[in-house]
Chain A
Amino acid sequence: MSSIYVGKNLRKFESSPQFLGYTKVVLQVSDEIEYVAGTDTGRTLTLVNPWGTQERAEAILDQIKGFAYQPYTASGAIVDAAAELGDAVSVNGVYSGVYGLTRRYGGIQFTDLNAPSDEEIDHEYPYKSPQDRRVTRQFREVRASLSIQADRITAEVEERKSNMEAVMGELSVQAGQISAKVSKTGGESESFAWDMQTDHVAFISNNTDVFRVDKTGAEVKGIIRATGGKIGGFDITQDSLSYNNHTWGGTNTTGVYIGPNGLQLGKNFKVDSAGNLTAASGTFTGYVKAGKIQYGDDNGYLPGSGIASHSVYGTQIGYSTISTAYTSPGVNTSLGYANFANDVFNWRATAPYVCCSYVVIGGKRYAPGTIRYKNANDDVTTAKVLLTQD
């Protein structure tokens, strides 16, 4: 800014006492929302601005803080034609600014200049700017805008709920993209949006894709909750999952049922919720561990034809597991012979004969042999006797 000097080169001059310096700014955004900066020790500047924030109110105060407006009116002054609005002026001992300028062109070019004021209000009552008088106009709490540009259309609606909280909805349409977003600022900030482009569409929560669909399929980050549906041939009901309309206890040859009753595949395999398995047959490639095994119609009967040779073995068979009541006649006969032999050796029975190569008596072995001797007739004869072998 420049300064001009008028001095006393004028016909008429009037001035008023200088205003107090500005110490406060009130920035009104709506009927309910305003931002205040500064203190009440001096003059207050009140203004209306739809883009007001606390920060901007502080910045406006910085620009006028301490500035003391000096009203005056100078008529018929000789003023440099190069002077402009906003220049500083020293006129009749008063220093102020050129806020009004009326030029009457002629040889001398007498000029009126002023810094206007409404003296009655300024001297007796607190200052209120013309903008403050416009506050009585009803401000909308909801602000909407529609922008149509060469490459996009944008619509916005913002509802300012308080100084700190606002909710905004945005819709943007471009050649290759359509997007919409609802966001809340202040407090717990959050947003939700959807974005459609040429190759995908996505739902976005707080700037993170939560559901995305493209040509390869759909991807969900989070939980899917559904009371019904059909996916890949599977029917989802409120409490079960089924294929081919299969039910618990159903007779479909092909089908699946998964539900609170259990799991059933077709009509020949199921496991109920108690863990009971029912199947037409089974092949176990690993170990089978069971508390009890019951087979077929005659529970407890396991035919030997179903057991491979040498497949049942172990270090011991449990007490009273095998008795002659359940062994084959051949085994029983052999056991009978064993019992007789035990009786013979314990003098409880007499064997008709014993066939053996030798006998052991008192720890010595005796085997049959033949001896030659002379009998009473002095004839040489033989006799069969047991001869010691040791």
Chain B
Amino acid sequence: MQKTSDLYKSLFADLVAGKPGVRYETRMTIGDAGTLIDKKGDSITFGGVRILVGSSGPDSGLDESVLISVKTALRVFSNDTPSVGDCVSSEIDVSLLQPAGTIPRQARLVPYVRLTDGLRSSEWLQQGVYFIDTRGTSGSDSVKKMTLHGYDAMLKAEADYPPSTLQWPALDIDVVREIAESMGVAVDDRTAAIMTRGYLIEYPADYSQRETLGHIAALYAGCFVMSDLGELRLVQLAGIPPETRYLVTGDGQAITFGGVRICV
């Protein structure tokens, strides 16, 4: 779970309670840097405002005036049964009003959300990093819509093991880091915290990076996924904490008595 501020927690409690005016606000950045441009190199504008992309942050991304729908699908297991050793790529489907310019091939898509009550707004929460795989257009000449379908960076691991600087057999966490570097992503801190057994891995000449990740994940009874921040993360099958039976509010906050949580 991503860390959130007290303001966010408060606004979420209001959302769950059904307080009027509290809602999620969604933004989407497209591309890696700079602004969207057309084939002539001119900036693409929306209502005269240039559309900034990725590195500029969500404040300058596409908002709900352009976005029609955004849906993400994430899962740990590759099939409908609990398993270990999987490396499933999550997907995104975006429907938006087609911009005048060209969206780069395999452009980076990053959705963001935040809570607002109209007066106060929480911080933006990143909701994954995706890359366009397919695109389509529909609609009339006056209002053209574009649909984008993308996957996260896990598909980049579907390649042979890269040239290595490791001494083989190599430590499992070093292998994961080397693969992550090849994918162009970082390794989630929680992954290193789990991978402490120091397994020695033989050079995976016969396996893709993804298969190698899967075999390593299996040794830790888990699967690899991409986190909401676009980092490589190991999720263990039995990694959920024990049930606590704390008394909680409607939004899941523990009810305390004199600062002490109440068990039921």
Q: Could you tell me which A residues sit within 8 Å of B by CB distance?
A: 1-7, 9, 19, 22, 45, 47-51, 56, 59-60, 63-64, 67, 69, 78, 80-88, 90, 95-97, 99-109, 115-118, 121-122, 127, 129-131, 143-150, 154, 156
CA distance in complex: A3, B218 (Å): 23
A–B pairs, 15, beta carbons within 8 Å: A4-B1, A7-B252, A47-B84, A47-B85, A81-B24, A81-B127, A87-B1, A96-B240, A101-B72, A103-B71, A103-B127, A116-B82, A143-B206, A154-B168, A156-B202
B129 in the interface, Cβ–Cβ < 8 Å? Answer: no
CA distance in complex: A390, B47 (Å): 179
- Asked if residues A97 and B240 are in contact (CB atoms below 8 Å), the reply is yes
Contact with B75, one of A3, A49, A84, A101 (Cβ below 8 angstroms)? A101
B137 in the interface, Cβ–Cβ < 8 Å? Answer: no
- Asked if residues A81 and B1 are in contact (CB atoms below 8 Å), the reply is no
- Asked if residues B1 and A99 are in contact (CB atoms below 8 Å), the reply is no
Count of chain B residues near A, Cβ 8 A: 70
- Asked if residues A90 and B241 are in contact (CB atoms below 8 Å), the reply is no
Given the complex, which residues of B lie within 8 Å of A106, measured CB to CB? 24, 26, 69
- Asked if residues A102 and B71 are in contact (CB atoms below 8 Å), the reply is yes
Q: Do A82 and B85 contact each other (CB < 8 Å), given the known contacts A102-B71, A105-B69, A105-B71? A: no
B83 in the interface, Cβ–Cβ < 8 Å? Answer: yes
- Asked if residues B113 and A109 are in contact (CB atoms below 8 Å), the reply is yes
Q: Do A1 and B241 contact each other (CB < 8 Å), given the known contacts A45-B221, A83-B1? A: yes
Closest to A62 in B: B221
Given the complex, which residues of A lie within 8 Å of B70, measured CB to CB? 104-105
- Asked if residues A84 and B241 are in contact (CB atoms below 8 Å), the reply is no
A120, chain B: closest CB distance, angstroms = 11
- A47-B85, A146-B205 are known contacts; what are 19 more A-B pairs with Cβ within 8 Å? A5-B251, A5-B253, A45-B237, A49-B219, A82-B4, A85-B75, A99-B77, A100-B75, A105-B69, A105-B72, A105-B111, A115-B82, A118-B79, A131-B218, A144-B205, A147-B205, A149-B163, A149-B165, A150-B163
Q: Do A50 and B215 contact each other (CB < 8 Å), given the known contacts A105-B113, A106-B24, A131-B85? A: yes
A9, chain B: closest CB distance, angstroms = 6
CA distance in complex: A4, B1 (Å): 8
- Asked if residues B77 and A116 are in contact (CB atoms below 8 Å), the reply is yes
User: Total contacts A to B, CB within 8 angstroms?
Assistant: 207
Closest to B248 in A: A5
B264, chain A: closest CB distance, angstroms = 12
Closest to A117 in B: B81
Q: Do A51 and B1 contact each other (CB < 8 Å), given the known contacts A88-B240, A108-B24? A: no
- Asked if residues B1 and A85 are in contact (CB atoms below 8 Å), the reply is no
- Asked if residues A82 and B2 are in contact (CB atoms below 8 Å), the reply is yes
- Asked if residues A82 and B219 are in contact (CB atoms below 8 Å), the reply is no
A19, chain B: closest CB distance, angstroms = 8
CA distance in complex: A7, B204 (Å): 45
Q: Do A81 and B82 contact each other (CB < 8 Å), given the known contacts A59-B197, A97-B240, A104-B69? A: no
Contact with A85, one of B76, B81, B250 (Cβ below 8 angstroms)? B76
CA distance in complex: A103, B90 (Å): 11
B84, chain A: closest CB distance, angstroms = 6
CA distance in complex: A88, B244 (Å): 11
B263 in the interface, Cβ–Cβ < 8 Å? Answer: no
- Asked if residues B15 and A86 are in contact (CB atoms below 8 Å), the reply is no
- Asked if residues A67 and B163 are in contact (CB atoms below 8 Å), the reply is no
- Asked if residues B250 and A9 are in contact (CB atoms below 8 Å), the reply is yes
Given the complex, which residues of A lie within 8 Å of B207, measured CB to CB? 50
Given the complex, which residues of B lie within 8 Å of A19, measured CB to CB? 82
Contact with B220, one of A63, A116, A154 (Cβ below 8 angstroms)? A63
Given the complex, which residues of A lie within 8 Å of B218, measured CB to CB? 47-49, 60, 131
Instruction: Bits for B225-259, please: 1 = Cβ < 8 Å to A, else 0.
Output: 10110000101111111011000101111000000
A28, chain B: closest CB distance, angstroms = 11
B23 in the interface, Cβ–Cβ < 8 Å? Answer: yes
Q: Do A118 and B219 contact each other (CB < 8 Å), given the known contacts A84-B227, A105-B111? A: no
Given the complex, which residues of B lie within 8 Å of A130, measured CB to CB? 78-79, 81, 83
Given the complex, which residues of A lie within 8 Å of B130, measured CB to CB? none
Given the complex, which residues of A lie within 8 Å of B201, measured CB to CB? 51
Q: Which B8-40 residues sit within 8 Å CB-CB of chain A?
A: 8, 12, 15-16, 23-24, 26
Closest to A121 in B: B81
- Asked if residues B82 and A145 are in contact (CB atoms below 8 Å), the reply is no
B164 in the interface, Cβ–Cβ < 8 Å? Answer: yes
CA distance in complex: A83, B113 (Å): 12
- Asked if residues A56 and B199 are in contact (CB atoms below 8 Å), the reply is yes
CA distance in complex: A127, B164 (Å): 39
Closest to A101 in B: B74
- Asked if residues B12 and A129 are in contact (CB atoms below 8 Å), the reply is no
Q: Do A82 and B125 contact each other (CB < 8 Å), given the known contacts A3-B241, A100-B75? A: yes
Given the complex, which residues of A lie within 8 Å of B75, measured CB to CB? 85, 99-101, 116
Contact with B71, one of A67, A104, A146, A147 (Cβ below 8 angstroms)? A104
